[in-house]
Amino acid sequence: MRFGGFLSGVWDSAKFLASFASDPVKAVEGLLDKAVHTSARGELGQMMTKLPEALIAKLANYAKANAASGGAAAMVTTAKSYLGKGDIFSTMVGRPVEEWCADFVDAVAKMTGNASVVPSTASAPAKASMFHDAGEFHSGIAGALPGDIFFASHGGSGDISGVYHTGIITAPSAGQSLISIAGNTGGNDVAMENWSPGEIAGFGRPKYLAGSASYSGGSLLRPSPSDAQGWARQNLEKAGQGSQWPSLLSLWNRESSWRWDATNPSSGAYGIPQSLPASKMGDTSKGGGPDYLDNAATQIRWGLDYIASQYRNPDGAMAHENAYGWYDQGGWLQNGSAARNATGKPEAVLTPEESAAFVALVKALVGQGGSSGAAAVHQENHFHGSSMASPEELAALSIHLQTAVSGS
């Protein structure tokens, strides 16, 4: 490298990272200041003396913004960036080199601006106890989410006294296994790990701060129900739909009590709008995003987009909820209801899967010609003609749809 000799006198990666974790602005300013005052040693130093002070300040502020981005997603992303690294983390948090799995968690929390919500200690069992004492510890692995802090234990679920290892969860868990990233693993480095339920005491869920202080931003990570409601109401008002708030409030009170991690134990529906499956909320074309698991803003945007596409607005969705006890799983919309059915007969309200399956079924029948084609045309005229379908006919159509969707 052209400036290798110069950099060797300026750059000490371990010391810089430790300083950066504690105070990113001071670390960057210190590095630049050292470069400026060693200008006689090479061309890079001479170049640095010509950098305007404003640019140096911008570099420092950029470093601070990236270091303190906060949130569960930042914890996971930053942890993964150190895969394969040995212990440089004890130094970052001002501790002697030791069994450093807890140091790794604390260093990542510092680098991402989450030090205030992740208990800091060199001891894994002490860290678990601190989460427990704060009411943030959950036994077992069911319901664990990316950014949660896991604790491996000799005694399994709930056994904090037997905790011997800790790290950062990287994928949601339904209770069968747990995927994590941790330091001081078998290879004495940062590595991914896969745990069975019997190996884990539980996990701590930090109260990540990113996004929860302001409703106007694009992020609302793991908020309280009241914070989620405030964000949704403010954004409805900005869109000129403030009058729809009572319906939306009531609708999602019924669905999830406005809890970002609400999970239906039977169906698996997830989040504030109870998306089924949860991954639907990852669709960016429908207001979603990859952070749908714990970003309530993403969940709310997706839920409002879904409501608009199916019912025009929360009032329409609430009317259907009041009439049938649900608003997001299809069914029959009765004539004259507040959800704007003016056809004079029941109107099918299908899920996207049911709609696609029904269209495919009709096309297949029509394509066969002969009696099957005639039957398909007859069925269409019968259900969409002037006569109202009987309960028996509606049940028969429901069975056909379920069969088509399941492929059986």
Chain centroid, CA 281 distance in Å = 9
Percent of the chain with pLDDT over 70: 59
Same domain, 130 and 197: yes
Domain end call among 172, 204, 236: 204
Residue-wise pLDDT for 300-337, tens only, equals 999 998 988 887 789 888 887 777 666 654 444 444 43
Same domain, 109 and 37: no
Question: Which residues, 6 or more positions from 65, have their beta carbon under 8 angstroms from its beta carbon?
Answer: none
Same domain, 23 and 110: no
Arithmetic mean of pLDDT, 12-16: 58
Domain end call among 67, 102, 119: 67
Reply yes or no on whether the pLDDT at 130 is more than 50.
yes
Q: Is residue 211 part of a domain?
A: no
Least confident range of 4-18, 299-313, 358-372, 383-397: 383-397
Same domain, 110 and 229: no
Domain end call among 67, 101, 118: 67
Same domain, 87 and 196: yes
At residue 335, the pLDDT reads: 43
Same domain, 107 and 122: yes
Q: Is residue 343 part of a domain?
A: no
Same domain, 63 and 83: no
- If pLDDT is split at 50, 70 and 90, which confidence band does 281 have? very high
Reply yes or no on whether the pLDDT at 115 is more than 80.
yes
Same domain, 76 and 150: yes
Reply yes or no on whether the pLDDT at 298 is more than 70.
yes
Asked if the bond preceding 206 is cis, omega within 30° of 0, the reply is no
Q: Identify the residue with better confidence: 340 or 200.
A: 200
Residue-wise pLDDT for 72-106, tens only, equals 778 888 899 999 999 999 999 999 888 899 999 99
Arithmetic mean of pLDDT, 161-168: 96
At residue 311, the pLDDT reads: 79
Reply yes or no on whether the pLDDT at 237 is more than 70.
yes
Same domain, 154 and 199: yes
Rounded to 10 deg, the angle between the 245-256 and 225-238 helix axes is 150
Highest mean pLDDT among 69-78, 277-286, 366-375: 277-286
Residues spanned by the domain of 116 = 71-204
Residue-wise pLDDT for 206-233, tens only, equals 887 543 323 334 568 888 898 899 889 8
The tally of domains found in the chain comes to 4
In one-letter notation, the amino acid at residue 403 is: T
Same domain, 152 and 112: yes
Q: Is residue 218 part of a domain?
A: no
Q: Which CATH number is 124's domain given?
A: 3.90.1720.10
pTM for the predicted model, two decimal places: 0.46
Q: Is residue 304 part of a domain?
A: yes
Same domain, 190 and 315: no
Question: How is the beta sheet containing 191-195 ordered, strand by strand?
Answer: 137-139, 200-204, 149-153, 163-169, 178-182, 191-195
Q: Is residue 111 part of a domain?
A: yes
Mean pLDDT score of the chain: 73
Q: Is residue 344 part of a domain?
A: no
Q: Is residue 134 part of a domain?
A: yes
Q: How far, in Å, CA of 274 to CA of 271, rounded?
A: 5
- Which tokens is 8 given? 């060797």
Report the DSSP beta bridge partners of residue 179.
194
**What sign for the dihedral angle of Cα 142, 147, 149, 150?**
positive
- If pLDDT is split at 50, 70 and 90, which confidence band does 123 have? very high
Distances (CA, A) of 86 to 101, 105, 108, 185, 291: 11, 14, 14, 10, 29
Same domain, 119 and 234: no
Q: How far, in Å, CA of 211 to CA of 72, rounded?
A: 11
Q: Is residue 90 part of a domain?
A: yes
- If pLDDT is split at 50, 70 and 90, which confidence band does 57 have? low
Chain centroid, CA 393 distance in Å = 42
- Which tokens is 397 given? 């159509």
